[in-house]
Amino acid sequence: MTDPFLDSLATALAGQAATALGAAGKQALEKVRDLLRRRSQNDSATKAALEAAEQDSAGQPQVKALAERLDQVCAEDAEFAEELRAEGAEVHKEISATGNAVVNINTGNAKNVIQARNIQGGITLN
């Protein structure tokens, strides 16, 4: 299992949490993306994982693969891990559910997924 911090970064990098990010989160995400692209110049496995996750057709397998790659890279390179955590802190903060925020990250197979705040009446799924 990967670190929830790295899961949130992978999810954001894959574009699956863009609506959860404010201006500061989007700026931080660009810094994280730039950091990973610089790292990828000499690291083909990280480059491949990042590129796969950024594809429009990317889904949970690509997000998970990126999170796992980030976990491995951070375990191998403490300096990079520190820089990634510093740059990604704002992204993680905004994606993490706090206060009135609602964030739903589906990591399994689901036929129907609903995210809602207040429902008046019922919901019917066919």
Is residue 39 in a domain?
A: yes
Rounded Cα distance, 85 and 8, in Å: 11
Is residue 72 in a domain?
A: yes
Residue 110 has pLDDT above 80, yes or no: no
Rounded Cα distance, 72 and 37, in Å: 16
The 10s digit of each residue's pLDDT in 52-92 is 998 888 888 999 999 999 999 999 999 999 999 999 988 88
Structure confidence at residue 105 (pLDDT)? 58
109 pLDDT tier (thresholds 50, 70, 90): confident
- Determine the straight-line distance between the first and last CA of the chain, rounded to whole angstroms: 33
Is residue 117 in a domain?
A: no
Rounded Cα distance, 39 and 53, in Å: 16
Domain that holds residue 63: 4-95
The DSSP symbol for 6 reads H
pTM of the entire predicted model: 0.70
109, 105, 115, 55 alpha-carbon torsion, rounded to 10°: -80
Is residue 71 in a domain?
A: yes
Is residue 70 in a domain?
A: yes
**Contact between 114 and 102 (Cβ < 8 Å):** no
Structure confidence at residue 66 (pLDDT)? 94
Is residue 108 in a domain?
A: no
Rounded Cα distance, 53 and 71, in Å: 15
Is residue 81 in a domain?
A: yes
Is residue 11 in a domain?
A: yes
Rounded Cα distance, 64 and 14, in Å: 10
Question: What are the DSSP E strand ranges found in the chain?
Answer: none
Pick the range with the lowest mean pLDDT from 26-35, 40-49, 57-66, 95-104.
95-104
Q: 3-class DSSP state for residue 84?
A: helix
Number of domains making up the chain: 1
Rounded Cα distance, 74 and 121, in Å: 47
Residue 118 has pLDDT above 50, yes or no: yes
